[in-house]
Amino acid sequence: MEGIDKNKSYEKDENDSLYILKMIFYSIIGIIIFFIPININNQTQTMLYHISDLIQLNYREFLKIYIILFMIIGSIKSFIDNKNKIYFSFRILSVIILLNVFYGNNYIFFQNDNTPLIIKDVVLNLITVLPISAVFMPFILEYGLLEIIESYFHPIMKKYFKISGKALIIIFIYLFTDCFCGYYMTHLMYSKGKLRLNELYTLLINFSTMSFYMMSYTYSELNLNSKSFILVSLLILIISNMVLCRIYPLSKIKKSYYVKTNYKESIHKKDKFKKGINKHLENKENRNIFEYIIENLGHVLNLNMKLISNLIVVFFLGDLLFNNNSVIEFLSQIFYPIISTVKFPDASLISKSIIRSLYNSISTIDLINFSILYDTRFIIGIFSVIIGISFTTNLTYIYSANIKIDKKYFIIMYFEKVALTILLYSIIYYSYRGYII
């Protein structure tokens, strides 16, 4: 429930000063790990990725063996738990595929040579980045930073995006880390009763689609102007989400919590920093940081056991399907009429690129060469970033984490997002052309 705390004030405890110092210290650690780019060895990225890269560099062979054994254990566990022979067969297939990806001289399972490289990168990141983020996530979720952000940004986020102010920290996770960390944090907060159901949909489907890494990769690979590309991408992301939260189906999704807690959204009109701290002190749990870390690591280990296997199978099936020109030609007809109506250059190529992006944006970008018109490359880049996290990856995570959402709503929202991106980019495109002419 939302409310304006006018009369209620927090009664101070004699140990509050010491606890507030701990809050500040832990929050600073969390901010540095997740959000502050730092240059080390000529690489500018967050500490989360520096730690992950260091582990992958020094223990790569050990990680490969660990992942294979981890997946075998997961396969046996799934067979014992589910007694489902088909599902068990897919788990075994994923182990065989990964053995080929890690140790094979020739990739016998894939048509596109980039797919095994993407799988290798995704799997190694999942086994390092996600557990590391699980270790440090309590520093930004459990020690006041969440309440302070909500105190400052709740009115803005509620007014424009129909979500609470604390959701901003999840959006930053998507932007600065990757989709899997953002997915995990979204589901974690929802399961603890800190996000509503409509916010779960919004953050999983609409705000999970963009990251600064993906933007940088896209404009570099497609040789695009970085400033204009980032500006247009962010503009479309903001406007499209302002629209999507006000139309069906998102406008009809319940604003209910998964579990009932004492936590309430509140609007602070003044003394926001102080009231944010007081709100945390009112609602804090009597647990130490190590309890949160162990709990999160347990969640992530169980999640990765399913997620890695499921993603490998999805990549395998997607490689078969989306590298078939006849299939791409057929599916591209879904968007071709809309794109041809707005008269984008190379409408057929753009339509096919959108379909391929539903499977994987990076492999889509890798198929584009510099001989294609700049405007076409720019449009394809925008769609790759806005769609960002592929339709298949998104669904795979939701299935692996057993997140209860309506798949019909998911599909409708995804295609609404694509249609809105086409509309908004066409407005920007023709406004710019009209201006320079």
Looking up tokens 């990757």 gives 178
pLDDT band of residue 179 (cuts 50, 70, 90) is: confident
Residue 1's pLDDT is: 41
167 domain residue, yes or no = yes
For residue 323, with 0-12 CB atoms within 10 Å meaning exposed, 13-18 middle and 19 or more buried, which class applies? middle
pLDDT of res. 92: 92
Do 353 and 328 touch, CB atoms closer than 8 A? no
Asked whether residue 393 is domain-assigned, the answer is: yes
Residue 3 inside a domain? The answer is no
* Share above pLDDT 90 across residues of the chain, in percent, rounded to a whole number: 62
Q: Is residue 164 part of a domain?
A: yes
Closest by CA to 202, choosing from 251, 271, 239, is 251
Which amino acid makes up residue 54?
A: L
Q: Is the pLDDT of residue 96 over 70?
A: yes
The backbone region for 106, taken as left when phi is positive above 0, alpha when psi lies in -120 to 50, beta otherwise, is beta
To which residue do tokens 């797919």 refer?
Answer: 115
As a whole number of angstroms, the distance between CA 206 and CA 410 comes to: 10
Distance of alpha carbon 260 from alpha carbon 160, whole angstroms? 26
Residue 8 lies in a domain: no
- Express each pLDDT in 110-168 by its tens digit: 988 888 999 999 999 999 999 999 999 999 999 999 999 999 999 999 999 999 999 99
Residue 139 maps to a domain: yes
102, 103, 108, 110 alpha-carbon torsion, rounded to 10°: 20
The C-alpha atoms of residue 165 and residue 168 are separated, in whole angstroms, by: 6
pLDDT at 437: 45
Q: Which residue has the higher pLDDT, 261 or 396?
A: 396
* 264, pLDDT greater than 90: no
| Number of domains composing the chain | 1
Using alpha carbons, list the distances in angstroms from residue 227 to 42, 170, 219, 230, 240.
22, 24, 9, 5, 20
Alpha carbon dihedral 44, 49, 51, 53, in 10-degree steps, equals -90
In angstroms, rounded to a whole number, what is the distance separating the alpha carbons of residues 331 and 350? 12
Position 434 scores a pLDDT of 63
Higher pLDDT, 390 or 298: 298
Distance CA 402, CA 120 (A): 24
Q: Is residue 9 part of a domain?
A: no
* Residue 7 lies inside a defined structural domain of this protein: no
Amino acid letter for position 122: V
β 265-266/2-3 pair status: parallel
CA geometry: angle 358, 173, 182, nearest 5 deg: 50
Cβ atoms < 10 Å from Cβ of 321: 13
Nearest CA-CA partner of 418 in 229, 240, 251: 240
Burial zone of 39 (CB within 10 Å; 0-12 exposed, 13-18 middle, 19+ buried): exposed
Residues of the domain holding 204 = 16-254+266-433
Phi and psi at residue 115, to the nearest 5°: -60, -45
| Most trustworthy range by pLDDT among 82-86, 210-214, 337-341 | 337-341
- Work out the pLDDT band at 5, boundaries 50, 70, 90: very low
| pLDDT tens-digit series, residues 39-71 | 998 888 999 999 999 999 999 999 999 999 999
Q: What is the pLDDT of residue 435?
A: 55
